[in-house]
Amino acid sequence: MVALVVPGAVLAACSDSSDSSGGATTNGSTPGGSTPGGGGAAGLTAVADVPEGGGVIVANPEGGMLLIVREGDEVKAYNAACTHMGTTVEAPVDGVSTCPNHGSQFNAADGSVKKGPAAQPLATVDVKVEGDQVVLA
Ligand code: FES
């Protein structure tokens, strides 16, 4: 009963390894530059690298840049694109993130506008802490 092995399956496996011409197709998608031993979602940044009461600007793997802020154990993230004309805002100083383009200011605690010309708050991006890393939620 257990000996019901389909010979075709073995042949198919063999033909895979002997098909050298098709190998290039899979090699093309091999992520050679990815982080070794990733073990789950790639972290945006280490929690320890986000200053207490401050924040950092990091690349969003889904595009654009993120402003990540931390208050105690709570980590929040915003799309770092200024809501005026899209310039990446700076990391917060004294709880305020400033756009270098026309000087809009945003409260790091909630993304709200502190000073225009921007009229809309920074867009919230859902993140969570996994281990010692901040990751997209
Ligand atoms: S683009 Fe940020 S203030 Fe104009």
Long-range contacts of 93-102 (CB under 8 A, 24+ apart): 93/54, 95/53, 95/54, 97/55, 97/67, 97/122
Which pLDDT score, from 0 to 100, does residue 41 have? 54
Which atom of ligand 1 is closest in space to residue 89's alpha carbon? 2
For 10-14, 60-64, 70-74, which range has the lowest pLDDT when averaged over its residues?
10-14
Which atom of ligand 1 is closest in space to residue 117's alpha carbon? 3
Mutate to test the pocket of ligand 1, among 65, 88, 102, 120 (most ligand atoms within 8 A of CB): 102
The residue extents of the domains of the chain are 31-136
The CA 105 to ligand 1 mean position distance, Å, reads: 9
Burial of 88 (0-12, 13-18, 19+ CB in 10 A): middle
pTM of the model: 0.70
> For ligand 1, atom 4, which residue shows the shortest CA distance?
102
> For ligand 1, atom 1, which residue shows the shortest CA distance?
85
Q: What kind of fold does domain 31-136 have according to CATH?
A: Rieske Iron-sulfur Protein (2.102.10)
Which pLDDT score, from 0 to 100, does residue 56 have? 96
Residue 31 has pLDDT above 80, yes or no: no
Mutate to test the pocket of ligand 1, among 101, 106, 113 (most ligand atoms within 8 A of CB): 101
